[in-house]
Amino acid sequence: MKKLRIHVQGRVQGVGFRYTTKMLADQLGVTGSVKNEADGSVSIEAMGDEKIIDAFVAGVKDSPSPAGKVNQIDIQPDDTIKERTSFDVVYY
């Protein structure tokens, strides 16, 4: 299982980015979470089979939200991410 911590910057808040990211994750079978950060960015924890995670990352890079725009994405493998059984939108 591949586990990634993804930090996304751009027009990613107020455009449905978290919800469309959840829809993408649910379609692909990715588990994890997505949340807004105070600095206007979005953080994602994602886990799943390597090919599925690669497809998820490609979808995030293209912005799953039609109104969103990803300017920068930082992807770090992180085996310490807690395993989940679903993909959740995290609220403050």
| Annotated catalytic residue, options 5, 36, 71, 84 | 36
**Which one from 5, 18, 71, 84 is the annotated catalytic residue?**
18
The DSSP string of 22-83 is: HHHHHHHT-EEEEEE-TTS-EEEEEEE-HHHHHHHHHHHHT-SSTT-EEEEEEEEE-TTSPP
Q: Is 36 a catalytic residue?
A: yes
18 is catalytic: yes
Enumerate the active-site residues: 18, 36
